[in-house]
Each structure stands twice: as C-alpha cells, then as structure tokens.
Amino acid sequence: MWIDYIKIPWKEMKRRKLRSWLTLLGVFIGIAAIVSLISLGQGLENAIEQQFQALGKDKLFISPKGGTFGIGSSVIMTKKDLEVITDVTGIERAAGMTFTLGQIEFNDQVWFPFVSGLPTEPEEMALIGEAQTWKIFKGRNLKKGDKFKALLGFEYTQDKILGKAVEVGDKVLIGGKEFKVVGFIDKIGSPPDDQGVMIPIDAHREIFGKEDEVNFIIAQTKTGEDPATVAEEVKKDLRKHRDVEKGNEDFEIQTPEQFAEAFGEILNIVQIVLIGIAGISLLVGGIGIMNTMYTAVLQRTKEIGILKALGARNSQILTLFLVESGLYGLGGGIVGVTMGIGFAKLTEFVFVLAVGPAFLSVDINPWLISGTLLFSILVGCLSGIAPAWSASKQKPVDSLRYE
C-alpha cells in the first residue's frame, strides 16, 4: 500500500526531530525567499501596470533630453515646440507644463520642493487631468481664472515639513510671492510627489521667469492612431523644427507603454538576480537534505538489512528513502511558502504604512504556491537520489552484520 511508503519515512523523520528541523530550515529559507520575492515583484509590477493604465495608453510625454521632467536639463523647449507638436496629424491635442525647484515659505519656515506650473485652460487641464493619477484630498483643484492659487502635496497637511499643517485658505509664499492654498492632493507614496507644489502656469512663468519655456508636454493621439507611430511623426517634425540630426535628438518622447516596459525590464532583471541568489540558497538546502539522507542511510544500515531480510526489494528500499527526502523537500516547501507569504505581506504592510498604498499590493498566486511546493518536492527527491540509491544497493548480509 502506497500510504506505508509515506508512513514509515515519516516516523523516521519524527524520530530525529532536531536533525529533521535543521534540514527543513536549510530548505525553507530558500523557498521563503523565492516566494516572497516573486510575490513582491509581481505586486510591484501590477502596481506599476495599474499606474500606467490610469495614465492612459494614448498619451505621449515629451521632454528635453537629460534631467527629470526637464529639470536639470540644459536643453530648453519652448511654446513653439508645443505648437509643432499640436500640428502633427496624429495628435488630438497637447498641453505644456513648467517645472522648477522652487521655494515655499510658511510659518516662518522654508522648504524647497518641485513647483509645477499647470495650464488652467479647461481643455488642457482635462488632458493633464487624464494623465494624472492623483486625487484631491481636501479643497479643490486649480481652475480657469486662478492665478496666485496653489495646490499642495499631501505632506503639507501635516506638520513635518513646515512645522505646522497648512489649511485650505492659508497664505503661503512661493518663490517670494503670496499664494492662497486652494487644496491638497491625496497621498501618492513618493516624497517628491507628496511634497510637490502646483500653481497655474501663468503664475509659474511670471515668478520663475520662464516666459517662453515649456519643460514637459503631454500630447494625446487621435483615436485609432498607434501611439508609437505618432511618436515617430512627432519626433520627425520636432527634429526638423529644432534642426537636429536623427539619432542626436535633444528631446525625448515616451509613451506609457515604453515607461511600463522600461520599468518591467528593470524589475525583471532585479527579480532574476534575487531569485538566482535565493536559488543558490535552495541548492544549499538540497545539499543539506543530501547530507541528512546520507547520514540516515549510514545510521539505518542495519534496518535496511532487516527490511531486505523481510523481503524488501531494492526498488522498495529506494522508494522509502526517496519519499523521505521528498518529504523533507515538501516540509521545507510548506514552511517556506507560509513564511514567504507572511514576509511579503509584512513588507506590503510596512510599505503601505511608510509610503502609501499606490506602490505595492502583494500578489499571492496559487500557481506560484503549488509550483513552489512541487519544486521543493523535486529538490528533495533529487537530493535523495544518490543516498537512496546507495541504500538500495546494500547487501543484506553486510547490512545485517552492521552495528
């Protein structure tokens, strides 16, 4: 009966509890690492994917080359570039924004956040509104006709940046000019965003002297157009307008898909490296099983002889030992999967607590769990092959004599 082939090894494992646990330890560390890394990685990938979904796939993001969103780049793009982009056939509409590292003053304290200048024309606002993934936490969004009004990041609703929480209606100094706070953005999860300041683009140009400049352009492609194809057209026209050679563009065009791909690629590489390391620890765990099994075979030499005297065939001895090493793998797998999920959930919890919910939602995949368990059984069995083989090949006479 097959159940006997599980019961007998199981009793042997229980007989030497400490050794069994140490063997399991070697396996479950690797398994736990693999499970938590894959769950976390998958969760991160899903979160990023969601962000880009929200962004909308029909958008193009155009910015000067180098720097982030135009900040830190020596290249300057202007309103004229925006016009060129708007004139491309495949483009429905486009809106420009300005960015700068500015100064905010409140409660006699100073902070240097990113200050964004956003268009307040309804159509342009709508375009940016579609591409933005944030929500209003308190107060209202900027609207047409606003000039010295500001929308602040979530962290200003607390006292840690300016020593005192800012309220809707408060007056703050931005770049030395007085602005009235109209609202706050809900928590995003990254400090630069949560400390950001948004003001109407006209006010931004005035204070920071960006008369003609545009730091970031969002363009929407026409329905039915392929964003990648349109992006090429935009590139061509901008090259012509800016008089640069192909391959030497001083601007960048990105589509959400490209963003997602780039992120996904980095994430994959990081995951592969981490899982590779976890794999090495699993290999070490497998060697631990092998070691345990060799010791077990040696210690049970006499018992192997007895079983053979009682009519056990070589294949039956082999099965008994293979099942035992497989059970070590399975046991390590069960503990490891449980701990891995626990660790991933804990990380998620800490992340959400620290930076906000947008970044990570751990994905517990049943395929991952069953796959990992099968894999750990496989590791156990593979590690047990050589010891089990040596057990099965023992001569009954010699084994019986062994003390």
Partner 1 sequence: MNKKTVIELKNVVKKYFIGEITLEVLRGVNLEINKGEFVVIVGPSGSGKSTLMNQVGVLDVPTSGKILLEGEDISKMTESDLAQLRGKKVGFIFQQFNLIPTLTALENVILPTIFQNVPEEKRTKKALSLLNEVGLGERINHKPNELSGGQQQRVAIARALINDPEIILADEPTGNLDSKSGQQVMDLLAKLHSVEKKTIILITHDIDLVRYAQRTVHLKDGEVVKIEYNHHSKR
| Nearest CB to partner 1, comparing residues 57 and 313 | 313
246, 311, 353, 367: which one binds partner 1 (CB under 8 A): 311
Strands (E), 186-231: 197-200, 213-214, 216-221
Q: How far is the CB of 320 from partner 1 (least distance, A)?
A: 10
Where does this chain touch partner 1 (CB under 8 A) — which range of 8-16, 40-48, 151-159, 247-255?
A: 8-16
Cα 342 to Cα 51, 52, 90, distances in angstroms: 25, 28, 49
In the list 222, 313, 342, 350, the residue contacting partner 1 (rule: CB under 8 A) is 313
Q: Does 299 bind partner 1 (CB under 8 A)?
A: no
Instruction: Give the shortest CB-19-to-partner 1 separation in angstroms.
Output: 14
Whose structure tokens read 């563009």?
Answer: 249
At its nearest, how many Å lie between partner 1 and the CB of residue 315?
7
- Rounded to a whole number of angstroms, the minimum distance from the CB of residue 306 to partner 1 is 5
Cα gap 153→209, rounded to integer Å: 23
Contact 322, 381 (CB under 8 A): yes
* CA angle in degrees (0–180, nearest 5) for 26-381-389: 115
In angstroms, the CA 37 to CA 44 distance is: 10
> How wide is the angle at C-alpha 251 spanned by C-alphas 56 and 91, nearest 5°?
40
Closer residue to partner 1 (CB): 4 or 49: 4
CA–CA separation, 355 vs 194, rounded Å?
10
Q: Does 222 bind partner 1 (CB under 8 A)?
A: no
Beta strands in 142-205 (DSSP E): 149-152, 171-174, 177-185, 197-200
Cα gap 280→379, rounded to integer Å: 12
Binding to partner 1 in span 157-186, by CB under 8 A: none
Q: Is 266 in the site for partner 1 (CB under 8 A)?
A: no
Q: Which of residues 3 and 354 has its CB atom nearest to partner 1 in the complex?
A: 3
Q: Which one among 316, 361, 365, 390 touches partner 1, defined by CB under 8 A?
A: 316
Q: Could you say whether residue 303 binds partner 1 (CB under 8 A)? A: yes
Which C-beta is closer to partner 1: that of 171 or that of 313? 313
**How many residues bind to partner 1 according to rule CB under 8 A?**
25
One-letter amino acid at 201 equals: I
User: Considering the rule CB under 8 A, would residue 236 count as an interface residue with partner 1?
Assistant: no
Running DSSP on this structure, what letter comes out for residue 186? P
Mark the segment that binds partner 1 (CB under 8 A) among 160-168, 187-195, 264-272, 300-308. 300-308
Closest contact distance (angstroms) between CB of 23 and partner 1 is 17
Q: Give the Å distances, CA to CA, from 167 to 18, 147, 162, 306.
A: 61, 19, 12, 83
Tokens standing for residue 237: 């026209």
Query: Which residue from 47, 73, 308, 343 is in contact with partner 1, where contact means CB under 8 A?
Result: 308
Burial of 308 (0-12, 13-18, 19+ CB in 10 A): buried
**Shortest Cβ distance from residue 11 to partner 1 (Å)?**
4
213 binds partner 1 (CB under 8 A): no
Q: What is the DSSP letter of 102?
A: -
Q: Is residue 8 within the footprint of partner 1 (CB under 8 A)?
A: yes
Interface with partner 1, residue 310, by CB under 8 A: yes
Taking the least distance from each CB to partner 1, the nearer of 80 and 313 is 313
Q: Per rule CB under 8 A, is residue 49 in the interface with partner 1?
A: no
The footprint of partner 1 on residues 368-397 (CB under 8 A) is 395-397
Note whether 6 binds partner 1 by CB under 8 A.
no
Q: Give ∠ CA 343-36-346 in degrees, rounded to 5.
A: 25
Q: Is 79 in the site for partner 1 (CB under 8 A)?
A: no
**From the list 83, 314, 350, 374, which residue makes contact with partner 1 (rule: CB under 8 A)?**
314
* Degrees to nearest 5, angle at CA 201 with 200 and 207: 95
Query: Binding of partner 1 at residue 18 (CB under 8 A)?
Result: no
CA 339 from centre of chain: 20
- Give least dist CB 379 to partner 1, A: 25
Q: Is residue 124 a contact residue for partner 1 (CB under 8 A)?
A: no
Number of neighbours of residue 5 by Cβ within 10 angstroms: 15
Binding site for partner 1 (CB under 8 A): 1, 4-5, 8, 11-12, 14-15, 302-303, 306-316, 395-397, 400
